[in-house]
Chains A and B, each alone.
Chain A
């Protein structure tokens, strides 16, 4: 029985993909139901004061709400799978286009924010966890408590005041696409990503510290020390690897949370992310857009979870071989 073989991983991945497909179908049913279950007539609500019979009929036909339910669901699912999420009630533009416009900014913020969070929390969490009860541990714990407690908008305002106001190093808000203006993108992404990243770093530091602390007392760490291994090997190969398994899940949740929109940070930094789009859609009762956004966020969550599952399976043989 060669258990290191990649076959086990392929079988595992196949299972997770199947699971994701089932969840995705459930999400499609639920998002479809959003429009059906809205109290009152979504078209009338969407039109609001602009209501007249002609506009009503036109929008109703355009959104397909005049057809039978089963037909609507079928065309919704086939549409969703081919990237057609209908037309925004408010702006008349395709929902897919509106969402895709926001995706680069959202992904920029999430990836850079998570990177900052990991750069801070991994060393800080490990460092504190290995020095339980000592001064270093105390400093990390108090600092991360601050990070968890400070509201993100306040953190954002502080950063703006310091870096944009007092020092004048960075622009206070706005967004530039990475492809067109890499320098501008970098200058503008730093402050919002730092805001998001510092909050996530505080949360992750506490989890990593707790995970390291738990593993550091495990029997196999004593075994590793009894072999006379260097402290760096004991920490790296034995403690950190084992602490990683539970931490991966939390990192995934943090990433998915930032991806699905951090509305307050987006508002403070005038950042064109998903959060603001969803907020505006809800405020305008733009159900087609809400439907599309919920679907997109669900897919992002599923995708992140899939990656976390695969990474966990690579690290932990008990997951891929069970």
Chain B
């Protein structure tokens, strides 16, 4: 008996068809992976099938049949809100992407877990509290009895996602919907959440629909996988078959684009390459006030490194490791102790403006790092205007730069909302290159992009390095893309440099335990199901 049977599901908003005839079925204890790039209709499919879609003006048609032992069979499409509320939280539990926004900041964890128990099980406050404690224990929150009265802001991102899982499983649902549940987490935390969900699923016999843009993650969790492109299912097969012999070209593209360890490293640079950036004993502290008085966070502790001209230094670490703080210290956005020289000239403290422009930065989010009211060409010309360079020849230079990042010159008159994520990031790169900097700091510059777009932008960055002999400080949390980009790698953890070696050596033979853990946490290329055979 299938837990969920979806047939010919269509969703449209206005005149746009977003989901076009999706069908799938799911047995108990099975996990269905749904992959696709942003805009492919993954979330929309699942939200519409479970009756949780809340988009004004959305029209849903088709059939979605839920079988639950307690509640019996119910058709979820076209159902009344009241009937859907009986199913939500009881027969179907949900875990969403961003644990920092999906928990209510004003309520204790206990309250957020017990809500659905009170709604569906008529539990007393006391009985629900006992159950909440069991759940927090089951999802592996340390000292759970103390955490019942805690608030979300007192937990780390990974712990918050564990609490979300506890909420979703509170009523022992037959079906768990996990919508990109690990995308906002660090790679080691991601590995923990994956194994937690698998364990709980095994104990409870829950069926899971796991949505992700990352085929590596899907490979670790799914029994079968459905590939969505523009709202259509292009392939739906057991995960091992899909990875080993992808039938559809789009699946092949997705598989080829996913970042993998052991890819091709960048071409070596002449060893005599002079040091361009020299950082010695960099140290950053941020003051914070707590109820027990003022103290400080030691964000970067005594870090030293060098970047040779024409090479890339990969800076990796999990969130909070101090990667971005190093970038901010070098660009003068935060105050730091220690020394830094760019081509022999002092970089920290008060420096002349024209020295600052010798390093440029590309930020993570292409949506917020461009001003929505300035055209792409205007954004690229702005640094030239600010630094009074090439007066009267801005238009020419902008055309040159657009050419350099492989964007049509006509795009200069477009505004950010008229560009895709990848195109925006190309504009950001063009803007960073406008002043012909010696050093380009790329702070998670491709982290927000779809895998296929990310691969293209990384290729562009490598080509530019070759053409213009650029030097990169490449900040990322993804070790696979760091390997593809870097000549040397610096691994950071909680503000401390853990391991700093040539990339080839580090990936071949990681010395430090932390580096080994980071590498081990990367989802392997082969699906788990294949390894278990």
A226 touches B153 (CB 8 A): no
B115 touches A229 (CB 8 A): yes
Beyond A220-B105, A223-B103, is A228–B167 a contact (Cβ under 8 Å)?
Answer: no
> Closest residue of chain B to A239, judged by CB?
B104
Does A151 lie at the interface of the complex (its beta carbon under 8 Å from any beta carbon of B)? no
Selected from B86, B88, B149, B291, the residue in CB contact (under 8 A) with A2 is B149
How many angstroms from the CA of A101 to the CA of B296 in the assembled complex? 51
Chain B nearest Cβ from A300, distance in angstroms = 28
Contacts of A210 in B (CB 8 A): none
How many angstroms from the CA of A231 to the CA of B393 in the assembled complex? 60
Contacts of B93 in A (CB 8 A): 226
Contacts of A219 in B (CB 8 A): 96, 98, 101-102
Does B301 lie at the interface of the complex (its beta carbon under 8 Å from any beta carbon of A)? no
B167 touches A227 (CB 8 A): yes
8 Å CB contacts to A: which residues of B157-200? 164, 167-168
A11 touches B291 (CB 8 A): yes
How many angstroms from the CA of A225 to the CA of B291 in the assembled complex? 35
Chain A nearest Cβ from B149, distance in angstroms = 5
A2 touches B146 (CB 8 A): yes
Contacts of A166 in B (CB 8 A): none
Contacts of B1 in A (CB 8 A): none
Contacts of B69 in A (CB 8 A): none
Does A40 lie at the interface of the complex (its beta carbon under 8 Å from any beta carbon of B)? no
A222 touches B146 (CB 8 A): no
- Most B-side CB within 10 Å, residue of A226, A230, A318: A226
Does B56 lie at the interface of the complex (its beta carbon under 8 Å from any beta carbon of A)? yes
Beyond A3-B154, A229-B85, is A318–B167 a contact (Cβ under 8 Å)?
Answer: no
B149 touches A242 (CB 8 A): no
- A284-322 interface code vs B (CB 8 A; 1 in, 0 out): 000000000000000000000000000000011110010
B151 touches A317 (CB 8 A): yes
How many angstroms from the CA of A218 to the CA of B84 in the assembled complex? 21
A218 touches B101 (CB 8 A): yes
Chain A nearest Cβ from B128, distance in angstroms = 13
Does A4 lie at the interface of the complex (its beta carbon under 8 Å from any beta carbon of B)? yes
> Closest residue of chain A to B170, judged by CB?
A227
Beyond A3-B150, A222-B54, A227-B116, is A238–B104 a contact (Cβ under 8 Å)?
Answer: yes
How many angstroms from the CA of A229 to the CA of B112 in the assembled complex? 11
- A111-148 interface code vs B (CB 8 A; 1 in, 0 out): 00000000000000000000001000000000000000
B88 touches A228 (CB 8 A): yes
Contacts of A186 in B (CB 8 A): none
A230 touches B102 (CB 8 A): no
A228 touches B98 (CB 8 A): no
A226 touches B104 (CB 8 A): no
Beyond A229-B119, A238-B104, A242-B104, is A223–B164 a contact (Cβ under 8 Å)?
Answer: yes
Beyond A2-B149, A223-B164, A230-B85, is A8–B291 a contact (Cβ under 8 Å)?
Answer: yes
B149 touches A4 (CB 8 A): yes
Contacts of B167 in A (CB 8 A): 223, 227
Does A38 lie at the interface of the complex (its beta carbon under 8 Å from any beta carbon of B)? no
8 Å CB contacts to B: which residues of A1-17? 1-4, 8, 11
Contacts of B102 in A (CB 8 A): 219-220, 222-223
Does B441 lie at the interface of the complex (its beta carbon under 8 Å from any beta carbon of A)? no
A226 touches B115 (CB 8 A): no
How many angstroms from the CA of A317 to the CA of B103 in the assembled complex? 13
Beyond A227-B167, A321-B154, is A220–B103 a contact (Cβ under 8 Å)?
Answer: yes
A228 touches B90 (CB 8 A): yes
How many angstroms from the CA of A3 to the CA of B94 in the assembled complex? 27
Does A67 lie at the interface of the complex (its beta carbon under 8 Å from any beta carbon of B)? no
Beyond A11-B291, A242-B105, A315-B106, is A226–B89 a contact (Cβ under 8 Å)?
Answer: yes
8 Å CB contacts to B: which residues of A171-201? none
Selected from A1, A3, A224, A318, the residue in CB contact (under 8 A) with B105 is A318
A225 touches B105 (CB 8 A): no
Selected from A224, A225, A321, the residue in CB contact (under 8 A) with B104 is A224
Selected from B89, B96, B149, the residue in CB contact (under 8 A) with A227 is B89
A317 touches B85 (CB 8 A): no
Does B397 lie at the interface of the complex (its beta carbon under 8 Å from any beta carbon of A)? no
Contacts of A315 in B (CB 8 A): 106
How many angstroms from the CA of A8 to the CA of B56 in the assembled complex? 42
Does B501 lie at the interface of the complex (its beta carbon under 8 Å from any beta carbon of A)? no
8 Å CB contacts to A: which residues of B97-146? 98, 101-108, 112, 115-116, 119-120, 146
Contacts of B106 in A (CB 8 A): 241-242, 245, 315-317
Beyond A223-B94, A317-B153, A321-B151, is A228–B116 a contact (Cβ under 8 Å)?
Answer: yes
Contacts of A233 in B (CB 8 A): 115, 119
Does B87 lie at the interface of the complex (its beta carbon under 8 Å from any beta carbon of A)? yes
Chain B nearest Cβ from A100, distance in angstroms = 39
Selected from B52, B105, B120, B151, the residue in CB contact (under 8 A) with A226 is B52
How many angstroms from the CA of A318 to the CA of B120 in the assembled complex? 30
> Closest residue of chain A to B85, judged by CB?
A228
- B54-97 interface code vs A (CB 8 A; 1 in, 0 out): 10100000000000000000000000010011111110111010
Beyond A2-B149, A4-B149, A230-B85, is A220–B119 a contact (Cβ under 8 Å)?
Answer: no
> Closest residue of chain A to B111, judged by CB?
A237
A229 touches B105 (CB 8 A): no
How many angstroms from the CA of A245 to the CA of B167 in the assembled complex? 25
Beyond A220-B105, A238-B104, is A226–B150 a contact (Cβ under 8 Å)?
Answer: no
Contacts of B90 in A (CB 8 A): 228
Contacts of B119 in A (CB 8 A): 227-230, 233
Contacts of B85 in A (CB 8 A): 228-230
A and B contact pairs by CB, cutoff 8 A, 19 listed: A3-B149, A3-B150, A4-B108, A219-B102, A220-B102, A220-B105, A223-B96, A223-B112, A225-B54, A226-B96, A227-B88, A228-B85, A228-B88, A228-B89, A229-B116, A229-B119, A242-B104, A242-B105, A318-B151
Given contacts A219-B98, A228-B84, 6 further A-B contacts (CB under 8 A): A224-B104, A226-B94, A227-B115, A228-B116, A231-B81, A317-B106
- The 4 A-B residue pairs with the shortest CB-CB distance, nearest first, are A219-B101, A228-B88, A228-B89, A227-B89
